[in-house]
Chains A and B, each alone.
Chain A
């Protein structure tokens, strides 16, 4: 396959007039689909800015009669879980503490891995790669118990390090697959030329491969930010109470009803928890498709 400078550009049939029957159908279907995708977000936002009396009486699709941002303030600052009423903000900073090192380390490990698997194959490397892909299919629950024992033996159970290692391990299969596919798709001449010049493993990686791999790194960052931010299970078990991530706090807020369920606060907390990956998607969705085009498409 030759290089394709225009990856990421629309490549369908010729453009046509905006109001032709075909384009009405196309836009019609897209708009209907868009509505289906937007309804839950709409409901969540509307609910989060209504007062409780209005929620109890009205229907979930109607816009608020009276807009209030109190639920957002409560969710962030003072929603209660058990004895502490500090809102979801504690979890936000904990999640950041887990997220940043986990994303960086898991991507470093997986990219070097994918590079070794594509350009520096050794005996058994394909076997390990295949086994790694199988790993993606094993339900986490199956490995939870032995992992608790392993991390205990390593002395990292219930620490930030522990949860970072766990995220690195479980990010590895899919990320390695993407990186490997991407590196395989790069023109082999580049690699061969560098070898002839006497460049070694790390130099080729740092000086030739990395600069060419921005799109796939973007994809990896997006996938990892989403995956790690949204994780509940590993955070709650491996991170230790001091480091409970935001999802755990969300669960605590949503599930600890004090008397009446405050749906508006719950919804605000839910949106706040989803905000980080959402922002990442809103701002980098375009690169995501481009990067995917480069990493997933060529096998």
Chain B
């Protein structure tokens, strides 16, 4: 039975191969920051971590969006081969993993460093809490409610650059005549993003809160919601047919090269303008809340640290956690990423015009909306995404049909 011994030897050798070494730890960090601006921001983190000495940041980038990366990350944690640290969106994404006791508890470190005293808005830290303990580190604030425009495109077409959503809709025919795409968008989640933003910007804060927090089916059936869907029906007329399968940063690049007039996208789009050397206020403009209701939600990226049996790894994890919230990292990282820092005690005087707008809006807590990811389970988010993308692609689907389906989803949502 030579074959069987051979098989056994092969097993043994690969088990040996996978055994790790002691001492300084190679901390593998998975994330899906692979676009130009994002990769630059990830690099800031990697370099700062390596500078601390000893442990090393091993980059585990998984390209695509969270949709590609999340299943891989989750299955590796479940499979008992966890990475040292991983990016995940704050909110309910990771809740089940925390519940199953698969994440490192950061409460002690957080208490020692006094995270609760400087993390602003405090909601960010709440999203990391489960049964009073802290399991993740928020690293930035991202908000969805922005529209990015290229003013010169509008001037070339003989219209004023839009100050709000209505202006864009009105200018669209002129842009189309010039062969310019009025609104650049792409993959399903980007289309769904437009819907989310319209929900807050056209529907207003009251409707947003009723739907996101109370799951109020009556509000979902009401006239305000209908107005949101009507605006969304206008939006589907503004996109070009080539949007299917387009990446978000390709859409951004259409705007910054003047092939498209506007894009509705979260503030991370800003890093693309930044890396292309464009100046806020002149080369491009930003309209928080689509220029209608200037309110922002406070989603964002966070890092989780899967539990490890190796105390060296745990030590390296805590070191990274502490670094992520430190002042220096927060400044340099967020400037690269185009997002807002999570600390209330740093002064971003280097921030550009658009970031300043965002900081000003968030300073008033009345303008802060709860993040979509925290309000809805990823399942409900998925159902809404299915509906919004179907509606966007199928011009025969009426506003009333869509609203009826939306009411159904909200009724079922938990």
Q: Which of B43, B46, B62, B272 has the largest number of chain A CB atoms within 10 A?
A: B62
Chain A residues with Cβ below 8 Å from B17 are 159-160
* CB atoms of B76 and A82 under 8 A apart: no
Is B223 at the interface (CB under 8 A from chain A)?
no
Check if A160 sits within 8 Å of B81, measured CB to CB.
no
Q: Within the complex, which residue of B14, B33, B78 is in contact with A152, where a contact is CB–CB below 8 Å?
A: B78
* Residues of A contacting B28 in the complex (Cβ-Cβ under 8 angstroms): 241
| Contact in complex: A256, B35 (CB < 8 Å) | yes
Residue of A nearest to B59 (CB): A83
Residues on A with beta carbons closer than 8 Å to the beta carbon of B34: 81-82, 252, 255-258
B22 adjacent to chain A (CB < 8 Å): no
Q: Which residues of B contact A145 (CB under 8 A)?
A: 75
Given contacts A108-B3, A148-B78, A161-B15, contact A255 B247 (CB under 8 A): yes
Q: Is B249 an interface residue (CB 8 A)?
A: yes
Q: Is the CB of B72 within 8 A of A237?
A: yes
Q: Is the pair B7, A253 in contact by a Cβ cutoff of 8 Å?
A: no
Q: Which residues of B contact A159 (CB under 8 A)?
A: 14-15, 17-18, 81
A157 to B81, CA, bound (A): 7
Q: Are A160 and B33 in contact (CB under 8 A)?
A: no
Confirm or deny: A35 has a beta carbon within 8 angstroms of a beta carbon on chain B: no
**Which chain A residue lies CB-closest to B247?**
A257
A260 in the interface (beta carbon within 8 A): yes
In the complex, the answer to whether A161 meets B14 with C-beta atoms within 8 Å is yes
**Contact status A257-B250, CB under 8 Å:** yes
Q: Is A80's CB within 8 Å of the partner chain B?
A: yes
Given A157-B79, A237-B72, the answer on whether A83 and B39 have CB atoms closer than 8 Å is: yes
Q: Give the CA-CA distance A105 to B80 in the complex, in Å.
A: 25
Most B-side CB within 10 Å, residue of A105, A145, A237, A255: A255
B contact residues around A257 at 8 Å (CB): 34-36, 247, 249-250
Contact between A82 and B33, CB atoms less than 8 A apart:
yes
Contact residue among B7, B35, B68 (Cβ-Cβ distance under 8 Å from A105)? B7
The answer to whether B15 and A258 have CB atoms under 8 Å apart is no
CA distance A253 to B253 in the complex (A): 18
Contact A252 B39 (CB under 8 A): no
A80 touches B3 (CB 8 A): no
Interface residues on A, range: 35 or more
**Inter-chain contacts of A161 with B (CB < 8 A):** 10-11, 14-15, 18
CB–CB A82/B59 < 8 A: yes
Least CB separation from B7: chain A residue: A105
Shortest CB distance A248–B (Å): 8
Q: Shortest distance in angstroms between B92's beta carbon and chain A's nearest beta carbon?
A: 19
Return chain B residues, CB-CB under 8 Å to A160. Answer: 14, 17-18
Contact A251 B64 (CB under 8 A): yes
Chain B residues whose C-beta falls within 8 Å of the C-beta of A148 in the assembled complex: 75, 78-79
B1, B14, B60, B64: which contacts A241 (Cβ < 8 A)? B60
B46→A157 contact, CB < 8 A: no
- Known: A161-B11, A236-B72, A260-B253. Contact between A252 and B35, CB under 8 A? no
A261 to B248: give the CA distance in the assembly, Å: 12
Whether A135 sits at the interface, judged by CB under 8 Å, is: no
| Nearest CB on B from A113, distance (A) | 12
Residues of A within 8 A of B276 (CB): 259
Q: Provide the residues of chain B in CB contact with A253, threshold 8 Å.
A: 63
B61, A158: Cβ atoms under 8 Å?
Answer: no
Determine the distance from Cα of A265 to Cα of B397 in the docked complex, in whole angstroms: 39
* Chain A residues in 8 Å Cβ range of B323: none
0/1 string, B1-37, CB within 8 A of A gives 1: 1010001001100110110000000001011011110
B79 and A252 contact, CB distance less than 8 A: no
Q: How far is the CA of A211 from the CA of B190 in the complex (A)?
A: 58
Whether a CB of chain A sits under 8 angstroms from the CB of B83 is: yes
Report the separation of the CA atoms of residues A119 and B78 in the bound assembly, to the nearest whole angstrom: 42
Q: Does A133 contact B (CB under 8 A)?
A: no
Q: Which residues of chain A (187-243) have a CB below 8 Å from chain B?
A: 202, 236-238, 240-241
Q: How many angstroms from the CA of A152 to the CA of B79 in the assembled complex?
A: 5
Using A83-B39, A148-B78 as known contacts, say yes or no to A259 and B253 having CB atoms under 8 A apart. Answer: yes
Q: A155-B15, A252-B34 are in contact. Are A81 and B61 (CB under 8 A)?
A: yes
Contacts of B160 in A (CB 8 A): none
Supposing A83-B39, A83-B46, A241-B28 touch, asked if A259 and B63 sit within 8 A by C-beta, the answer is no
Q: Does A41 contact B (CB under 8 A)?
A: no
The distance in angstroms between the C-alpha atoms of A270 and B62, with both chains bound, is: 18
B14 to A83, Cβ gap below 8 A?
no
Q: Is the CB of A259 within 8 A of B36?
A: yes
Interface residue? A70 (CB, 8 A): no
What residues of chain A lie closer than 8 Å to B250, measured between beta carbons?
257, 261
- Distance of A249 Cα from B366 Cα, bound (Å): 45
**Cβ of A258 and Cβ of B78 under 8 Å apart?**
no
Asked whether A240 lies within 8 Å of B18 as measured between CB atoms, the reply is: yes
A259 x B272 contact (CB < 8 A): yes
Contact check, A258 vs B36: say whether CB atoms are below 8 A apart. yes
A236: chain B residues at CB < 8 Å are 72
A83, closest chain B residue (CB)? B59
Q: Does any Cβ of A come within 8 Å of B42's Cβ?
A: yes
Contacting residues, chain B, for A82 (C-beta < 8 A): 31, 33-34, 39, 42, 59-63
**A84 at interface by CB-CB < 8 Å:** yes
| Shortest distance between the CB of A36 and any CB in chain B (Å) | 23
Question: What residues on A are CB-neighbors of B3 within 8 Å?
Answer: 108, 112
The residue on A at minimum CB distance from B74 is: A148
Q: A159-B15, A161-B10, A237-B75 are in contact. Are A152 and B35 (CB under 8 A)?
A: no
> Interface of A with B (CB < 8 Å)?
80-84, 101, 105, 108, 112, 144-145, 148-149, 151-152, 155-161, 164, 202, 236-238, 240-241, 251-261
9 contacts between A and B (CB under 8 A): A82-B62, A145-B75, A159-B15, A159-B81, A240-B18, A252-B63, A254-B63, A256-B61, A258-B36
Give B residues with C-beta under 8 Å from A: 1, 3, 7, 10-11, 14-15, 17-18, 28, 30-31, 33-36, 39, 42-43, 46, 59-64, 68, 71-72, 75-76, 78-81, 83, 247, 249-250, 253, 272, 275-276
- Nearest 4 Cβ contacts at the A-B interface: A82-B61, A158-B81, A256-B34, A157-B79
